[in-house]
A and B are shown apart, each in its own frame.
Chain A
Amino acid sequence: MKRREFVKAVGRSAGLAVGGDFLGLGSLAYRLPDRPTADSSLLIPMDDAQSDHLKAYGVAYRVIQAGGKAEWLLNYRGGSFLLPDAPAIRRDAALNGVAVEPVDGGRLSAVRGEIAGTNADTVPLEKAPKVAVYVPPNAQPWDDAVTMALQYAGIPFEKLWDPEVLGDGLRTYDWLHLHHEDFTGQYSKFFLIYTGQSWLAEMVRFNDAARRRLGFASVPEMKKAVAGAIRAYVDRGGFLFAMCTATETIDLALAAHDVDAAASFADGTPMDPAADSKLDWSRTFAFSGAHLEPDPQVASFSDIDGHQVNAGPRRQPLGAFKVFNFSAKIDPVPTMLVQNHREVIPDFYGLTTSFVRERLKSGVTILADEEGAPWVKYVHGDLGKGTWTFFGGHDPEDPQHQIGDPPTDLSLHPHSPGYRLILNNVLFPAAKKRELKT
């Protein structure tokens, strides 16, 4: 089968990972008041009064998914949500253990007054974004922080992978998440370290099968094409959120469009010795001027990552990162992305944990960093008509994450500030577009 035929055949085969009815979404399809009214509203506090911060995002998402209007009260009590008051919403919140506070007209006026007089603002949430998660077909659902967060919060998503991306399957989605995919096509450079492990063999088999079906000469070439398609998606107006290795490697794949930057185990030929000098950083999202890691046995891709968790003596210890306090009225976009009930959050490793400041392109907005360290943790920027956000690290509640570790059970971390940053990104595309200054 030719590549195009294959793409056509499988391009629409992504499965629904979380069934809407099973999450009780059907039960929300009652008549909801259009928007919070002066008479009766529900406030979902997102400060320490909240009993389940993560599920609160799911409640807000389902309201807008059911056609209701919600407001995100930026910087008000940890980034609270204001929803219409309806029995179905109260029921959804109660079932999920989400604390809500009924707000009458008088109190709502007081809330709005406080927002007007402080560094806070309101953002209408009007359209539930359609969410896609880029993940190989054989991946465990628990091995990806975003998948876990979406599943726990009850936000539906669909899975897609290389055939769907290359088959223009991204066109129908508002939001795309990438996790620990290695877009350099080098299997996270585990190929030499974990030779003989069955999970690695399976990863290689899946990728190689996709490569052959899609008609690419090598897996690195296929991943470059996928990275290009994702870039085009953002350029057309998509929202991209990436974590862990995906952040660093998608930029490396884009920069290495015309150069062999992969080790011989991945494509049969050694990395071009002059690859560094041939990288084209004009194509990338966030980074420029990075140097590739030439040693195929070191599970590091470049000097973009500040922590170098698998690079022996280069490995840096974990600290804590601090989210910036933006002006809600002037910079609503970064303000949305950093809404939290904690300012300082313990850091966590990933194959890419952080981003060295010197490697960031000018114009990139730093959302969180470690004070005094040469790296940052959380960055955001625009590309064409779309936006992208990169968050370093693998799992906010498993700081030392190792292959084979048990999955994180988010019901034991309902207040996780790290996972809140992820969920901010999911709701961010729901915000009604307006003239933004950032």
Chain B
Amino acid sequence: MRRSDGARLALLLTLLHPVLPGGGGVAAAQAISQGFELERQGRVEQAAGLYKTVLRGDPTNIPALLGLERVLPSLGRLGELLPLVQQALASDTGAAVRGLAVRTFTALEENDSVAALVRRWSAAHPGDASAWREWAIALEDRQRFEDARAVLLEGRQALGMGSALAVELGELEQRVGDWRAAALAWAMAATELRQLPNAVNQLEDAPADQRELVIRTLTVPGASIPARRIAAELLVGWGQPGRGWETLSATLDPPTPETALALRRFAERASGASANVRRVRGLALVRLADLLPGQLAARMRVEAARALLDAGDRVAARVELAKLAGDPAAPPEVQALAQTALVEAALADGELDSAAGALARLESDDRTSSEERQRLRHELVAAWIRMGRFDRAEQALGADSSVEALALRGWVHLYQGELKAAVEAFRSAGPYAGDRDAATARTAMLALLEQIDAERSPELGAALQVLARGDSQAAVTALRRVAGKVGGGRPDVLLLAGRIAARVGGSQEGMALDLFEEVVRIGGTGAAAPAAELEWARLLLRQGKAADAVTHLEHLVLTYPTSAVVPEARRELERAKGAIPRS
């Protein structure tokens, strides 16, 4: 301590001494504040002196007692707290002093004293678990886990309730790593509805190798409904949504007031992006909608249908949407949402006439925004284009002069083999039309078309349209056939064919390797050759041929040092060598 600090502290203590006994509440508060500051500075000895001075004037001053509880252990002088606590207990039997006494007695291993105190405290407040809780936690803090467990069980018996102190018992078992016992305790705690979220939050920390044990414990035959609902939520969080839904489903009949809450919680837990998670979310919301009245049910059904659509379960989604369409209780905006979803479902199912009809009904009123209707119309047009129904696409576009419509017309030109017109349309549409995927696809296609000298090529258009329709193998064959007819664009067309073949995988991988090899051989200094070599290396990596991939990546970096794909190649090189950590 610096001399000036010591002088200041001495002065403060001198000033406090006559003031505190006289009820100097303000002075005591200032002293406590000063004590905190000393603690913060690590000057715990001085802080202890200050707190003791406060207690000389006010033996039950809680902040001072707690301050000593904080600082004396680090000085190895906790024993000095004992007489002060006993003095405080003589005149104050509040929970704060009693709690402090329990902790102090426990820390000093005054076992008989603490047991007597807790039993007196418990007897004075029947039904109050505070005394047992305080004692158990104090024992846990001293690493006396067995003793803590015994105290909790004794407390439970004294309190006469099977679920008493279950939370504390659950936390204790978790702390010692006994996850089966923790699951049992939390299942008991969750018989109080408000403890269900805590139970799930605590048990979800179980290490991976303990999770199955937790689930089995919570779902043994005869397990309570709360236990099984905890298991259901845990399973969703642990990546087993289907099993979670099965577990929850078994607890839903007959419905009780808690059933809706359980379904709502389960649906909220199932907020992940995978199809399986979305599907169980949809199923839970459907059951929830069945339990809710009128408009609430309609809104829930829309949410359920959306989740099912996102999960790719269009059959189930359309069932819910149809229910909504015929539900007079559904408010107009919900019906609009349902009709929008119906169009999307029909589009996803490839039922374009049905989608067109639903869209026409949607356009006959103003329940959806014009932007939403336009978005759906463009999706319908894109679907017609993919199907090769250019007449229907043009008809649906009508006089639409938006940039999105311009971009769509570019695809029509392209698939009809009008390459120059397609390029002009894509350029006019600019880089921002449609969503990011659409813009990326357009840019990639522009890059390909710019390598091709011909203004028209119905064969190339047809080959690309086969690809758009989703027939990858036929597209590879068609693109290879047409590659010889597009002049300087041959490497780029073969590269595209190779990429498709690589993505198809399986028996097409050999074809992809041949195509990449050909592009590297004939590609000269153009952009296609390094891009093909990168794809080649990636395919080799997927096949587990890291050494061969490294050879290609090194060749790429050294042969095409100015290529735009060199940074990607370097990263693949690092990955191939195992120098990039797997997250």
Q: Which residues of chain A have a CB within 8 Å of any CB of chain B?
A: 22-24, 91, 94-97, 141-142, 148, 151-152, 154, 192, 195-198, 201, 265, 273, 294-295, 297, 303, 313-314, 406-409, 411
The verdict on B305 contacting chain A, using a C-beta distance below 8 Å, is: no
Instruction: Given contact pairs A94-B561, A151-B579, enumerate 20 new A-B contacts (beta carbons under 8 Å).
Output: A22-B577, A94-B557, A95-B573, A96-B570, A97-B557, A97-B567, A141-B581, A152-B579, A192-B143, A195-B176, A196-B177, A198-B208, A198-B209, A294-B74, A294-B76, A406-B581, A406-B583, A409-B581, A409-B583, A411-B574
User: Nearest chain B CB to A156's CB is how many angstroms away?
Assistant: 12
State whether the Cβ of B39 lies closer than 8 Å to any Cβ in chain A.
yes
Contact of B73 among A97, A152, A201, A295 (CB under 8 A): A295
A260 CA / B579 CA spacing, docked (Å): 42
With contacts A265-B143, A294-B74 taken as known, whether A195 is within 8 angstroms of B175 at the C-beta atoms is: yes
Is B524 among interface residues, defined by CB-CB distance under 8 A? no
Known contacts A195-B177, A314-B42, A411-B571; is A91 also within 8 Å of B558 by CB? yes
CB proximity to A under 8 Å, residues B163-188: 174-177
A273–B39 Cα distance when bound, in Å, is 20
Give the Cβ gap from A268 to chain B, nearest Cβ, in Å: 12
In the complex, residue of chain B having the shortest beta-carbon distance to the beta carbon of A140:
B581
Closest to B41 in A: A314
Q: Which residues of the partner chain A approach B141 to less than 8 Å between Cβ atoms?
A: 297
Interface residues of B in 124-182 (CB under 8 A from A): 141, 143, 174-177
Complexed CA–CA distance, A140 and B265 (Å):
37
Q: Which chain B residues border A303 with CB–CB below 8 Å? A: 42
Chain B interfacial residues counted at CB < 8 A: 31
Taking the nearest CB of chain A, how far is it from the CB of B199, in angstroms? 17
4 closest residue pairs by CB, A with B: A407-B581, A196-B177, A142-B581, A406-B583
Q: Shortest Cβ distance from A100 into chain B, in angstroms?
A: 12
Q: How far is the CB of B139 from chain A (nearest CB, A)?
A: 14
CA distance A411 to B177 in the complex (A): 38
Q: CB-CB < 8 A to A192: which residues of B? A: 143
**Contact status B558-A197, CB under 8 Å:** no
What is the bound-complex CA distance between A23 and B554, given in angstroms?
12
Asked if B207 is at the interface of the complex by the 8 Å CB criterion, the answer is yes
Bound-state CA distance A54–B176 (Å) is 44
User: Least Cβ distance of B149 to chain A in Å?
Assistant: 14
Q: Which residues of A contact B207 (CB under 8 A)?
A: 196-198
Chain B window 200-219, contacts with chain A (Cβ cutoff 8 Å), 1 for yes, 0 for no: 00000001110000000000
Q: Which chain B residues have a beta carbon within 8 Å of chain A's beta carbons?
A: 39-40, 42, 73-74, 76, 141, 143, 174-177, 207-209, 554, 557-558, 561, 566-567, 570-571, 573-574, 577, 579-583
Taking CB as reference atom, which chain B residue is nearest A264? B143
A303 to B74, CA, bound (A): 13
Contacts A198-B209, A295-B73, A411-B574 given; indicate if A95 touches B554 (C-beta within 8 A): yes
Known interface pairs A95-B557, A295-B74, A314-B42; A196-B573 also in contact (CB < 8 Å)? no
Please measure, in the bound complex, the distance between the C-alpha atom of A154 and the C-alpha atom of B354, giving whole angstroms: 61
* Complex CA distance for A91 and B559, rounded to whole angstroms: 11
Do the beta carbons of A23 and B580 come within 8 Å of each other? no
Report the bound CA distance from A407 to B42 in whole Å. 35
Contact among B40, B74, B176 with A313 in the assembled complex (CB-CB below 8 Å): B40
Which residues of chain B have C-beta atoms less than 8 A from A409's C-beta? 580-581, 583
Closest chain-B Cβ to A59's Cβ sits at a distance in Å of 14
Q: Complex: how many Å from CA A55 to CA B40?
A: 44
26 contacts between A and B (CB under 8 A): A22-B577, A24-B554, A94-B557, A94-B561, A95-B573, A97-B557, A141-B581, A152-B579, A154-B579, A192-B143, A195-B175, A195-B176, A195-B177, A196-B175, A198-B209, A201-B177, A265-B143, A273-B76, A294-B74, A294-B76, A303-B42, A313-B40, A407-B583, A409-B583, A411-B574, A411-B579
Q: Shortest CB–CB separation between residue B104 and chain A, in angstroms?
A: 16
Query: Which of B177, B554, B574, B582 is packed against the most chain A CB atoms within 10 Å?
Result: B574
Would you call B574 and A94 a contact (CB within 8 A)? no
Please give me the residue from chain A that is nearest to B571 by CB atom: A411
Interface centre among A22, A23, A24, A265 (most CB of B within 10 A): A22
Contact of A196 among B40, B42, B174, B570 (CB under 8 A): B174
Min CB gap A210→B, angstroms:
22
What separation, in Å, do the CA atoms of A273 and B77 have in the docked complex? Answer: 10
Residue of B176, B209, B561, B579 with most chain A CB atoms under a 10 A cut-off: B579
Q: For the complex, what is the distance from the CA of A141 to the CA of B76, rounded to whole Å? A: 41
- Bound CA–CA A273/B79 (angstroms): 14
Name the B residues within 8 Å of A411 (CB-CB): 570-571, 574, 579-580
